[in-house]
Amino acid sequence: MLKLGLIGKGISLSQSARLHVLLGRMCGIDVTYDYLDSEKIAGFDLIGQLAACAKAGYAGVNVTHPYKTEARKLIQRRKRLPEALGAVNTVVFREDGWRGDNTDYVGFMRGYRGQFGDQAPGTVLQMGAGGVGLATAFGLHGLGAERILIHDKDADRGHTLVATLKAGGANVAFVTEPDLSDAIRDADGLINCTPVGMNQYPGSPIDAALLGGQKWAFDAVYTPVETSFLHSARKAGLSVMTGFELFFFQGIEAFEVFSGAQIDGDAARIEYFNAYPEALTG
């Protein structure tokens, strides 16, 4: 039995449980995956909840909004993470201590390579500097992006991400609102890491009229899978990567960390869509 869970706030709609249970079934492992919602736990504090999970026999837990940064401060990072990447979304409990990982970071890179192969990211304009934006931006740096341009309506948050990336050695700059249209037109790749495009926040963060000269686009939103942004990007001739790829590969990476198993991504994809065909459309 592999006991896993997710710690976060307002996580009732998460699809992580069904992915981890399915991956366990593929490996012949019985998996339980609990939702540990801070809104439903009296007197919640992160370190106390992690300690309780370790004592209760959890192999590990995923950590999501708004606790990824706090978790990074509490947990020793795994060596594969950049030192400057100040967030973890996966905690593994071992006898020699707790280890933190960020499978959004490695999952994004795995998804990118699966979708675009060895194509270099080039110059990339990323909308959004929140938690997932932190991971994808470091992923872009890991993939060898020539230049990373960050825009966020919260300029302070955007500048903070830029400073963090610079500390990690990236060629990065913040893009102000007046310069945004030109930056979008001149980019090789476009990324949406804002909530715009989710079922509850319809629309697109990028004007369709600005699309056409770029090479590729990625939307971190996966409910729905085919967002307005990606629909416009496809129509304009860009190659696209959906948010499902990030969800899928960060989950596989986390399960591999938890279990020590190696997952065949192609086989897991077939199994997942056979079990949950609605995931194709979100």
Q: Which element (helix H / strand E) includes 31?
A: strand 31-37
The DSSP secondary structure of 36-74, one letter per residue, reads EEGGGSTT--HHHHHHHHHHTT-SEEEE-TT-HHHHHHH
Residues 85/86/87/90 CA torsion (nearest 10 deg): 70
What local confidence, expressed as pLDDT, does residue 282 receive? 65
What local confidence, expressed as pLDDT, does residue 182 receive? 98
Residues 112/117/121/126 CA torsion (nearest 10 deg): -20
Sign for the pseudo-dihedral over CA of 7, 11, 16, 18: positive
* Better-predicted residue by pLDDT, 63 or 279: 63
What is the three-class DSSP state of 152? coil
What local confidence, expressed as pLDDT, does residue 279 receive? 82
Q: From CA 259, how far away is CA 181, in angstroms rounded? A: 45
What local confidence, expressed as pLDDT, does residue 13 receive? 85
Closest CA to 198 of 13, 38, 70: 13
Sign for the pseudo-dihedral over CA of 254, 259, 265, 266: negative
Contacts of 275 (CB under 8 A, 6+ apart): 18, 22
Residue 124 sits at φ, ψ, to 5 deg, of -125, 130
pLDDT digits (tens, 9 = 90+) for 60-94: 999 998 999 899 888 888 888 898 998 899 999 99
Closest CA to 216 of 191, 239, 242, 182: 239
* pLDDT over threshold 70, residue 254: yes
Burial 200-224 (b: 16+ CB within 10 A, else e): eeeebbbeeebbeebbbbbbbbbbb
Q: From CA 221, how far away is CA 204, in angstroms rounded? A: 11
What local confidence, expressed as pLDDT, does residue 15 receive? 92
% of residues, the chain, pLDDT over 90: 87
Q: From CA 279, how far away is CA 40, in angstroms rounded? A: 27
Find the mean pLDDT for residues 206-216: 97
Find the mean pLDDT for residues 141-158: 97
Q: Exactly one of 33, 58, 67, 222 is catalytic; name it.
A: 67
* pLDDT over threshold 80, residue 153: yes
pLDDT digits (tens, 9 = 90+) for 101-147: 999 999 999 999 999 999 999 999 999 999 899 999 999 999 999 99
What local confidence, expressed as pLDDT, does residue 223 receive? 87
The DSSP secondary structure of 73-141, one letter per residue, reads HHSEEPTTS-TT----SEEEEETTEEEEE-HHHHHHHHHHHHHHTT----EEEEE--SHHHHHHHHHHH
| Mean predicted lDDT score pLDDT of the chain | 95
Written as six digits, the tokens of 258 are 């938890």
Q: Which element (helix H / strand E) includes 266?
A: helix 265-275
Strands 216-219, 239-241: pairing kind: parallel
67 given a catalytic annotation: yes
Residues in the chain: 282
What local confidence, expressed as pLDDT, does residue 75 receive? 86
